[in-house]
Amino acid sequence: MRMSHHFLPGQGRQIGKTILPVIVFTLALTVLLAGFAAGRAAADGQDLPYTDRYIDLHLHLDGAITLDVAKQLAVLQGYPLPEDRDEELEKYLTVPEDCESLNDFLKCFELPGYLLQTPEGLREAVHLVADSISSQGVIYAEIRFAPQFHTKSGMTQEEAVQAALEGLKETELKANLILCCMRGEGNEVQNEETLALAKKYMVEDGGVVAADLAGAEALYPTENYRELFAKAKELGVPFTMHAGEASGPESVRLAIEYGASRIGHGVRIFEDPELVAMVREKGIALEMCPTSNRQTHAIADMAEYPFMQYLEDGVKVTLNTDDMGIEGTTLAKEFRYMEENFGLSPEQERIVLANAVDAAFTTDETKDRLREQLGLPKGTVIELLEDTLPEAS
Ligand SMILES: [Zn+2]
């Protein structure tokens, strides 16, 4: 599962130059966090524990509808789901672990889709999902949804955004919204409207904070969205983009070229070592989602899942859920999965969380508060390293 060999053949000197600072970087941060951990351990007489607080930067609202939430939304909208058919309903909401096809996966979005077509449904979905992840240890989340998916019963995209904002007000969880434009055909006008709404409702914190590009990456390549995201840049709307999930490194390169400050997944960047170096040097965060990547076969063999290698290479990786309802996961489960299958250590978890705080679309003030809640040192990962590294020559 090690990916180091991708960096080696025929590129020795050049790569040596870029790899060395990364090794220093990773070592320094590990030492720094371990030192910090030792301080805490000395204080409470224990080793640094695995984390029980989390940050989710990549969570789709319609993918986060569990059976429990679905039932509450249905009641609210006057067509309760049958009480005695939970098993059957689960099949409509959750993919089986041995999910073989993308169709299986996509089928699971149908029922949530029906439940999110009114302002009440959307508002309550944001509220219930936020409350539910908060009870699972999430202390900050960026909830994303595509307003154009919620217009089937006459709600406008703008009303959808307003309803989601109302939902945010009803939860105690610190959360923000990301508006997704969708890959597809014939929805150019809808995507432009989504972007305009992102601009109109954009705040620094406590509301809409960014845009995204989601949908079938292999069918609708990133290059089709050059103009749309040139507009986003012009409007000053920060954005992330799903890329390097169903398509390869070229998709990620384009997303970065267009101005994405984060990448949804980016699993496949290991196929291009120069891109890995670029992602690291530019500090682009990867929003990785292991269970989702396993279920959609973003990588053929999970033993080759590149998360740990990216982490060791100094790439700003984060752990997220993607579609927690459909996948039957939680962010806590994602961390446990990485611990059990890839040996993710408590110290490494602190780095992953520090990366998430750095990459969050929120204010410095909120970031400082999150670092405090997570028991992280103050300052960004880079700022921390400036104090520990010798002056660059
Ligand atoms: Zn996603």
User: How many structural domains does the chain have?
Assistant: 1
Lowest mean pLDDT among 268-282, 321-335, 373-387: 373-387
In a domain, 253, yes or no: yes
Nearest to 61 by CA among 129, 3, 1: 129
Q: What is the pLDDT of residue 45?
A: 42
* Annotated catalytic residue, options 217, 245, 327, 349: 245
> Residue 98: its pLDDT value, please?
74
Question: Which CATH number characterizes residue 30's domain?
Answer: 3.20.20.140
pLDDT at position 10 is 29
CA-based angle 358:359:360, to the nearest 5? 100
| Annotation marks residue 245 as catalytic | yes
Over 80: is that where the pLDDT of 19 sits? no
Ligand 1 centroid distance, CA of 177 (Å) = 14
Check residue 56 and give its pLDDT: 98
Q: Which two tokens stand for residue 24?
A: 């220093």
The CA R_g of the chain, rounded to the nearest whole Å, is: 21
Examine residue 87 and state whether it is found in any structural domain, yes or no: yes
Mean pLDDT within 77-92: 89
In the reported structure, the alpha carbon of residue 276 is separated from the centroid of ligand 1 by a whole-number distance in angstroms of 20
Cα 163 to averaged position of ligand 1 atoms, centre (Å): 21
- What integer is the mean pLDDT of 101-119? 88
Residue 22 has pLDDT above 60, yes or no: no
Residues paired with residue 140 on neighbouring β-strands, in sequence order? 55, 174
Q: Is residue 7 part of a domain?
A: no
Residue 196 predicted with pLDDT over 60: yes
CA distances from 221 to 226, 232, 323 (A): 10, 18, 22
| Angle at the Cα of 291 from the Cα atoms of 290 and 292, rounded to 5 degrees | 90
CA 83 to ligand 1 center in whole angstroms: 30
Residue 356 lies in a domain: yes
Do 320 and 178 form a contact (C-beta atoms < 8 A)?
no
DSSP helix/strand/coil, 235? helix
Long-range contact list for 44-53, CB < 8 A, 24+ apart? Answer: 47/346, 48/346, 48/347, 48/350, 49/346, 50/335, 50/336, 50/339, 50/346, 50/349, 51/335, 51/346, 51/349, 51/350, 51/353, 51/374, 52/137, 52/332, 53/137, 53/138, 53/139, 53/353, 53/373, 53/374
Ion ligand 1 residues within 5 Å by Cβ: 322
What is the 85 CA–ligand 1 centroid distance (Å)? 29
Least confident among 85-99, 253-267, 350-364: 85-99
Residue at 6 is within a domain? no
Cα 156 to averaged position of ligand 1 atoms, centre (Å)? 23
Q: Please report whether residue 330 resides in a domain.
A: yes
Give the Cα-Cα-Cα angle 382, 9, 280 (nearest 5 degrees).
15
Q: What average pLDDT is seen over the chain?
A: 88
Burial 103-129 (b: 16+ CB within 10 A, else e): ebbebbbebbeebbbbbebbbbbbbbb
pLDDT at 17 over 90: no
Which structural domain range is residue 277 located in? Answer: 12-388
Q: What is the 3-state secondary structure (H, E, C) of 246-267?
A: CCCHHHHHHHHHHCCCEEEECH
Q: Flag whether 393 is in a domain.
A: no
Residue at 37 is within a domain: yes
Give the Å distance between the CA of 116 and the centre of ligand 1: 18
Instruction: Provide the pLDDT for residue 31.
Output: 54
Whole-prediction pTM value?
A: 0.89
Residue 34 has pLDDT above 70, yes or no: no
